[in-house]
Homo-oligomer: A and B are copies of this chain.
Amino acid sequence: MSSRKELKPSNSLYPTPVILVTSVDETGRPNIITLAWAGNLCSAPPQVGISIAPLRYSNNLIREGKEFVVNIPTSDILRETDYCGIVSGKNTDKFKDTKLTPMKAAKVKPPMIKECPVSIECKVKNIVPLGSHDLFIGEVVNLEVDENVLSQRNNIDFKKLKAITWSPLTRNYYSVGKTLGSFGFSRKK
């Protein structure tokens, strides 16, 4: 017999993605911010949402520049990923600090991060103020994937992505584990 305990309302949906969002200032100087409050919002046109507190340096860069790139890290760069979430880029160059490598994106000014196998280039379509955070809705204008994680048929090898996930309930980073099934498997008899 299970029973429930009521806890203080908080933002506790899990597991969440962990992403590195890049932006640039008006001189082209790039910044990186780590986010876990992010997700897919719409298929057509493809749109993603990222939430950033108004005081964060990246909030203003993306508000002004109207572009960002969602770079998805691997567990190989977990330390760099954590670092970009706890330090402000206002007074330091996080690319230099972490030795992560900027790569020119095809359709937007902010750079891709070479060490991230997937980069999603976005243009800001809408900003929704919510309180402690603003939701930036970005339309996906390009998707670039490292060839090392693609098969010859351009299928993604998910194991090679070494994705990181996060839970606000525990404030821990986790690996993504084994494949449990494919969408629609319950339909099969």
* Interface positions of A (Cβ within 8 A of B): 2-17, 19, 36-49, 51, 70, 72, 75, 78-80, 82-83, 85-86, 103, 106, 112, 114, 118-120, 126, 128, 130-133, 135, 137, 140-148, 150, 154-156, 158, 161, 163-165, 167-187
In the complex, are the beta carbons of B17 and A14 less than 8 A apart?
yes
As for how many copies of this chain the complex holds, the number is 2
Task: Say yes or no: A82 contacts B186, CB within 8 Å.
Answer: yes
One of B47, B132, B161 near A43 (C-beta < 8 A): B132
Q: In the complex, are the beta carbons of B179 and A174 less than 8 A apart?
A: yes
- Asked whether, in the complex, the Cβ of B182 is within 8 Å of the Cβ of A10, the reply is no
B164 touches A180 (CB 8 A): yes
Name the contact of A39 in the complex, choosing from B16, B83, B184 (C-beta under 8 A): B16
Question: Would you give 24 A-B contacts (Cβ < 8 Å), ordered by A?
Answer: A5-B144, A5-B145, A6-B142, A6-B143, A11-B46, A12-B143, A13-B17, A13-B19, A13-B39, A14-B72, A37-B39, A42-B51, A45-B131, A75-B180, A78-B181, A82-B186, A118-B169, A135-B137, A158-B170, A172-B179, A173-B179, A174-B177, A174-B178, A174-B179
